[in-house]
C-alpha cells in the first residue's frame, strides 16, 4: 500500500487548546499534511497528534452547545428506541451526555476519555468509563455489563488512530443481532464544499463510505445502511451489523451512495490533487476579502470559534489584525484566545451594533445562525464564509 501526500496545510496548533494569554511562551505546533492511502482509499492526516495531548480534562467542545445538535440527538434516540427496542446501549465518546441521556430507562453506558466530560455524565447517573476506547477496555466493559444491542459513536471514530482495533473491540462488544452506528463528517461533502477545515488534529481521518467498506473488510462487521445528515457540514450515519447476522438486508440506498462516490472520483488520487489546487485558490480569495474590508477600516468579528476555523485561520495566516475578536456561546471558551492565531474570544450576547462583517467560523450552523441574526442582517450586517467558496453573504 502506498501513502501519498497531496496537501500540506502548514503549521497548526491543537484546535482544542484555547489559550489563556495572547502571547503564550510555548505553543505545541505540528505540520498538518493530508495523505491518500492507495489500497483502502482512506484519507488521513500525515502525522497524528498524541491523543493525550488532544483529549484531556480541559476539553472544550460540548455536544449540547447547539440547538441543532440537541434536537438531532433527541430525534435519533426516539427513532432508535422505536425501531430497535434496545435493552442496552453504549456510546463511544459520550461527551456531555447529549445523546446517551435519552436512554435512562435501559442499560446506558458512556465511554469518554475527557475527564471533565465524563464527570458531567457520571453526575447525571450514567455509568461512564473515563477512558480511551481500546480492546482492553471493551473486555472490561463486557465483563461488567454484558453485550450490547446498540453501540453508537458520533464524531469520535474518526479521532481514533488504530481503526482495526477499534472495529474489533466494537464487534466483540455487540450481541449477534447488535448494531453499531457511526456518525462522522463525509469526505464526499468535504470535497464538494471544499471545506478543507474538516481536517485538523482530532480528525485523523475524514471517511468516505468507500474507505469504511474497505477498512471493515478484514473485520467481523459490515455496513448495511447509510443515512445522509446535514450536521457538521455534511455527515454520514453508517449502520454496521455483524457479518454472521444474515437476517439483515443490505440497503439499496447504501449501494447507490457507494456508486455516487465512485462517480465523483473518490477512489482516484487525481481528485485529491484537484482538491489541493482548489484549497490554495480558496486561501487566496479569502485573504483578499479580509484585506479589502480591513483596508476600509472596518471591524470583522468571528462567529463561532470552532475547531474547524482553526485550520482556516492558521492556514490562511488570519490573526488579530484581520479578525478583531470571536463571539461564541461555549462558556469554556470565554476570555480565551484562539490557538495559533491568538484572537480573543468573548461571550456571545448578540452582535454589537458597530459590527458589519462576521466571519462564519460555525458555517455548519449557517441556517440556525441566520435565523437567530435576522436583525443584524436586516440592518445591513454581512457574513463572510469560505464554504463552498470565499464570499460575502
Ligand atoms: P462545532 O459545530 O462543534 O464545530 P467544531 O467541531 O469545528 O468545533 O462548534 C460550534 C461552535 O460554535 C461552538 O463553540 C458553539 C458556537 N456557536 C455559537 O457561538 N453560536 C451559534 O449560534 C452556534 C450555532 C454555535
- 207-218 pLDDT, tens digit per residue, is 999 999 999 999
Residues in a beta bridge with 35: 5, 44
CA 61 remoteness from chain centre = 10
70 with 171, same domain: the answer is yes
Asked if the structure places residue 11 within a domain, the reply is no
Count the alpha carbons within 13 Å of 156 in the hemisphere toward its beta carbon: 24
Domain count, the chain: 2
Residue-wise pLDDT for 73-98, tens only, equals 999 999 999 999 999 999 999 999 99
| Closest residue by Cα to residue 64 from 103, 100, 14 | 100
Query: Does residue 186 lie in a domain region?
Result: yes
Residues 306 and 379 in one domain: yes
Note whether 262 and 305 are same-domain residues. no
* Distance from residue 132's CA to the centre of ligand 1 (Å): 24
Q: Are residues 305 and 221 part of one domain?
A: no
pLDDT at 109 > cutoff 90: yes
CA 330 to ligand 1: nearest atom: 14
**26-56 pLDDT per residue, tens:** 999 999 999 999 999 999 999 999 999 999 9
Q: What is the pTM of this model?
A: 0.96
- pLDDT at residue 1 in the model: 81
Same-domain check for residues 261 and 290: no
Identify the domain boundary among 218, 243, 269: 269
172 with 319, same domain: the answer is no
Q: Separation of 330 CA from ligand 1 center, angstroms?
A: 8
Per residue in 175-195, pLDDT (tens digit) is 999 999 999 999 999 999 999
Average pLDDT of the residues in 255-273: 98
Predicted local confidence at residue 185, as pLDDT: 98
Q: 149-188: buried (b, 16+ CB within 10 Å) or exposed (e) per residue?
A: bbbbbbbbbbbbeebeebbbbbbebbbeebbbbbbbbbbb
Tell me the pLDDT of the chain averaged across its residues: 97
Q: What CA–CA distance (Å, rounded) separates 202 from 176? A: 32
Instruction: Evaluate whether residue 5 is within a structural domain.
Output: no
Query: Which of 65-69, 137-141, 295-299 comes out lowest in average pLDDT?
Result: 65-69
Residue with the smallest CA separation from ligand 1 atom 6 is 307
Domain-located, residue 22 = no
121/153 same-domain check: yes
Report the candidate in 353, 338, 283 with the shortest Cα–Cα distance to residue 315: 283
Q: How far is the CA of 256 from the centre of ligand 1 (A)?
A: 32
Residue 67 has a pLDDT of 85
In this structure, are strands 107-111 and 127-129 parallel, antiparallel, or unpaired? parallel
228-252: average pLDDT? 96
% of residues, the chain, pLDDT over 70:
100
DSSP E strands, the chain: 3-13, 29-37, 43-45, 88-92, 107-111, 127-129, 148-154, 174-185, 221-229, 235-242, 300-303, 325-328, 345-347, 357-360, 382-385, 391-392
Last residue of a domain, one of 237, 269, 301: 269
Among 269, 297, 332, residue at a domain's last position: 269
* Tens-place pLDDT, residues 128-171: 999 999 999 999 999 999 999 999 999 999 999 999 999 999 99
Residue 328: give its domain's CATH number: 3.40.50.720
Write out the three cell numbers for 44.
488521513
Residue 68's pLDDT is: 83
Domain that holds residue 308: 279-392
Cα–Cα dist 261/327, whole Å: 36
Q: Is residue 294 in a domain?
A: yes
Q: Is the CB of 304 under 6 A from ligand 1?
A: yes
What is the pLDDT, as a whole number, of residue 290?
A: 98
Position 38 in a domain: no
Q: 3-state DSSP call for residue 164?
A: helix
Distance, CA 362 to ligand 1 centroid (Å)? 5
Same domain for 161 and 84 = yes
Sign for the CA dihedral angle at 382, 386, 387, 389 comes to positive
pLDDT confidence bin for 361, thresholds 50/70/90 = very high
Helix residue spans in 174-306 (DSSP H): 187-192, 209-215, 252-264, 269-295
Within-domain flag for 45: no
Cell of 83: 425501531
CATH number of the domain encompassing residue 155: 3.40.50.150
Residues 257 and 290 in one domain: no
For residues 55 and 188, membership in a common domain is answered with: yes
Mean pLDDT (whole number) for 66-70: 86
- Look at residue 374 and tell me if it is in a domain: yes
Distance from the CA of 270 to the center of ligand 1, in angstroms?
33
CB contact at 8 A, 10 and 32: yes
Question: Ligand 1 pocket, 368 CB below 6 A?
Answer: yes
Residues 245 and 327 in one domain: no
Q: What is the pLDDT of residue 245?
A: 97
User: Closest Cα to atom 17, ligand 1: which residue?
Assistant: 304
Same domain? For 230 and 260 the reply is yes
Pairing of strands 345-347, 325-328: parallel
Residue 371 in this model has a pLDDT that exceeds 90:
yes
Ligand 1 geometric centre to CA of 299 (Å): 21
For residue 64 and ligand 1, the question of a CB distance below 6 A is answered with no
Say whether 274 sits in a helix, a strand or coil.
Answer: helix
Amino acid at each position: 500500500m502506498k501513502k501519498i501526500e497531496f496537501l500540506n496545510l502548514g503549521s497548526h496548533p491543537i484546535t482544542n487548546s484555547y489559550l489563556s494569554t495572547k502571547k503564550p511562551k510555548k505553543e505545541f505546533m505540528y505540520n498538518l499534511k493530508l495523505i491518500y492511502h492507495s489500497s483502502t482509499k482512506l484519507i488521513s492526516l500525515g502525522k497524528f497528534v498524541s491523543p493525550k495531548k488532544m483529549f484531556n480534562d480541559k476539553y472544550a467542545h460540548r455536544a449540547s452547545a447547539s440547538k441543532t445538535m440537541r434536537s438531532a440527538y433527541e430525534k435519533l434516540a426516539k427513532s432508535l428506541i422505536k425501531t430497535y427496542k434496545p435493552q442496552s446501549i453504549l456510546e463511544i465518546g459520550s461527551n456531555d451526555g447529549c445523546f446517551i441521556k435519552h436512554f435512562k430507562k435501559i442499560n446506558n453506558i458512556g465511554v469518554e476519555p475527557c475527564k471533565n466530560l465524563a464527570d458531567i455524565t457520571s453526575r447525571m447517573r450514567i455509568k461512564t468509563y473515563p477512558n480511551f476506547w481500546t480492546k482492553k477496555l471493551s473486555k472490561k466493559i463486557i465483563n461488567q455489563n454484558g453485550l450490547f444491542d446498540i453501540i453508537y459513536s458520533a464524531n469520535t471514530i474518526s479521532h481514533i488512530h488504530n481503526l482495526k482495533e477499534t472495529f474489533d473491540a466494537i464487534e466483540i462488544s455487540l450481541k449477534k443481532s447488535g448494531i453499531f452506528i457511526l456518525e462522522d463528517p463525509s469526505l464526499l461533502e468535504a470535497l464538494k464544499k471544499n471545506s478543507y477545515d474538516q481536517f485538523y488534529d482530532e480528525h485523523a481521518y475524514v471517511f468516505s463510505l468507500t474507505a469504511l467498506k474497505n477498512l471493515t473488510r478484514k473485520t467481523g462487521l459490515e455496513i448495511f445502511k447509510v443515512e445522509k445528515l446535514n450536521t457538521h457540514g455534511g455527515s454520514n450515519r453508517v449502520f454496521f451489523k455483524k457479518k454472521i447476522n444474515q437476517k439483515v438486508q443490505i440497503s439499496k440506498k447504501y449501494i447507490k451512495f457507494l456508486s455516487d462516490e465512485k462517480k465523483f472520483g473518490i477512489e482516484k488520487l487525481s481528485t485529491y490533487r484537484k482538491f489541493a489546487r482548489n484549497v490554495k485558490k480558496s486561501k487566496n480569495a479569502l485573504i483578499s476579502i479580509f484585506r479589502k474590508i480591513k483596508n476600509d477600516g472596518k471591524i470583522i468579528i468571528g462567529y463561532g470559534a470552532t475547531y474547524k476555523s482553526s485550520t482556516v485561520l492558521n492556514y490562511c495566516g488570519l490573526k488579530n489584525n484581520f479578525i478583531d475578536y470571536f463571539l461564541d456561546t461555549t462558556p469554556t471558551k470565554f476570555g480565551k484566545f484562539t490557538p495559533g492565531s491568538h484572537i480573543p474570544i468573548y461571550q456571545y450576547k448578540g452582535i454589537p451594533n458597530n459590527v458589519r462583517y462576521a466571519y462564519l467560523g460555525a458555517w455548519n450552523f449557517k441556517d440556525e445562525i441566520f435565523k437567530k441574526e435576522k436583525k443584524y442582517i436586516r440592518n445591513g450586517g454581512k457574513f463572510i464564509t469560505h464554504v463552498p467558496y470565499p464570499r460575502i453573504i
